[in-house]
Amino acid sequence: MTGVLGAIADDFTGATDVAVAFRRGGLRTLLFFGVPPEAEVLPPHDAIVIALKSRAIPAADAVSSSMEALEWLRNRNAEQIYFKYCSTFDSTPRGNIGPVLDALSQATSSSRVLMTPSSPEHGRTQYQGHLFVGDTLLAESPLRDHPATPMTDSHLPRLLRAQTTTPVFLVTHDVVRRGETAVREAIDGHSGYVLVDALTEEDLRLLGRVAVNSPLVAGAAGLAAGLATARTSGTPLASGTHAPTGPAVVLSGSCSARTLEQIAVMLRLGRPAHRLDPVATPDPDALAAGALAWYDSLTDAVGPLVYSSSNPADLQRTQEKLGVARSAGILEEATGLIALGLAGRGVRRLVAAGGETSGAIVTALGVRGGVIGSEAASGVPWIHPVGDRHPALLLKSGNFGEPDLLATASAS
């Protein structure tokens, strides 16, 4: 295929992840947060990723924002669409992956959509239709305690069937192991959503070749890389720009197990830290003002941390007192205000942990999009915003990065 590859990602960190996968596969990739204006002037590109915040919103809203993104991409010559969802299939019991797929497949006249959340680089694999996080089934992993989309089933066909009436079928790994022709034969004549087992990058490159001419493909960064490689024959681009410099602050609302470890490392290193407590202060303006006053009181602080990240027990207590949506809403609004205040105080690097949290920060700052720079960790690139003088952004997915990532990314 020679036209543009367009991706619609259901959260902001997921969008950076898929943008990196495309870039590594050799595609010149642009990333936009939200659907850009029609008049947006685009530098040369092979792929465009649009980051939405549609993972945990009502399904009808997720569908309408995805359709808006689709229309924009098609006006920009996108001939193939990749719907990026989370490698841990984060979704609510009734959506939003199924409803968005239904709308996109209808609009792109796709009778069959190949997909898998498998992303071996991040430790996610699909086997016999079950999703594994490392050596643990999804529903036994920390994702079962996710604040917005707790994942309590690991069987992907069952999860997807609960979200759509479109037929869902499974291609197991014994078929994938037999090669491309075997996969093509297995899916031939079927219509609907095809969840394909994949354990390795090689499996995903094979699936990328199978899907290279399909108008719609779906999954996480793993299949996105396979597809990019199939489109470019794997010719890499030169590496990204250098890591940015200047004052840095970490803002974390992620309650993922990996983020909690990364925060523990920062605290152990003695980094200045300020905790946002929505129960004590259930007002976003007051929470933000408190955090900014704390920041102003610091002298010569290296990479301070502002966080609300909590372990599952504390999180549950907060959610019982304030409600899930209200506690998240207060914290996300406060975090956006804090990001704005920090940018106004000369902070040049903002390290955000958590997809929803990143979305809140990018939206509050009014960042439209950016150029993908160097990776601070696998799937976590620095983003150099286009337009106004915004700080460089590192949007870390909750589950990504080594335990020292937040500390190293915010070091002087």
Ligand X SMILES: Nc1ncnc2c1ncn2[C@@H]1O[C@H](COP(=O)(O)OP(=O)(O)O)[C@@H](O)[C@H]1O
Ligand Y SMILES: O=C(O)[C@@H](O)C(=O)COP(=O)(O)O
Binding site for ligand Y (CB under 6 A): 11, 13-14, 17, 86-88, 119, 122, 220-221, 256, 354-355, 397-399
Tokens of 315: 């999180």
b/e sequence 64-79, b meaning 16+ C-beta within 10 Å: ebbbebbebbeebebe
Instruction: Please say which residue, 36 or 355, places its beta carbon nearer to ligand X.
Output: 355
Instruction: Please say which residue, 64 or 316, places its beta carbon nearer to ligand X.
Output: 316
Instruction: Please say which residue, 136 or 245, places its beta carbon nearer to ligand Y.
Output: 136
Amino acid at 186: A
CB of 64 to ligand X, least distance (A): 21
Q: Which of ligand Y, ligand X, none does residue 372 bind to, with CB < 5 to 8 Å depending on kind?
A: none
CB of 251 to ligand Y, least distance (A): 13
Q: Which of ligand Y, ligand X, none does residue 378 bind to, with CB < 5 to 8 Å depending on kind?
A: none
CB of 186 to ligand Y, least distance (A): 25
| Residue 344 DSSP SS3 | helix
Q: Which of ligand X, ligand Y, none does residue 108 bind to, with CB < 5 to 8 Å depending on kind?
A: none
Q: With contact defined as beta carbons under 8 Å apart, do 318 and 309 qualify?
A: no
- Residues lying near ligand X in the complex (CB under 6 A): 146-148, 253-256, 259, 278, 308-310, 315, 318-319, 327-328, 331-332, 354-357, 398
Instruction: Please say which residue, 5 or 352, places its beta carbon nearer to ligand X.
Output: 352
CB of 87 to ligand X, least distance (A): 12
Q: Residue 104: CB partners within 8 Å, gap ≥ 6?
A: 8, 66, 67, 70, 81, 83, 110, 216
Amino acid at 51: A
Q: Which of ligand X, ligand Y, none does residue 122 bind to, with CB < 5 to 8 Å depending on kind?
A: ligand Y
Q: Which of ligand Y, ligand X, none does residue 87 bind to, with CB < 5 to 8 Å depending on kind?
A: ligand Y
Q: Which of ligand Y, ligand X, none does residue 220 bind to, with CB < 5 to 8 Å depending on kind?
A: ligand Y
CA distance 122 to 32: 23
Tokens of 261: 């470890």
Tokens of 152: 């309590």
CA distance 333 to 314: 20
Tokens 């290296």 belong to 302
| Residue 130 DSSP SS3 | strand
Instruction: Please say which residue, 163 or 358, places its beta carbon nearer to ligand X.
Output: 358
Instruction: Please say which residue, 218 or 287, places its beta carbon nearer to ligand X.
Output: 287
Radius of gyration of the chain (CA): 20
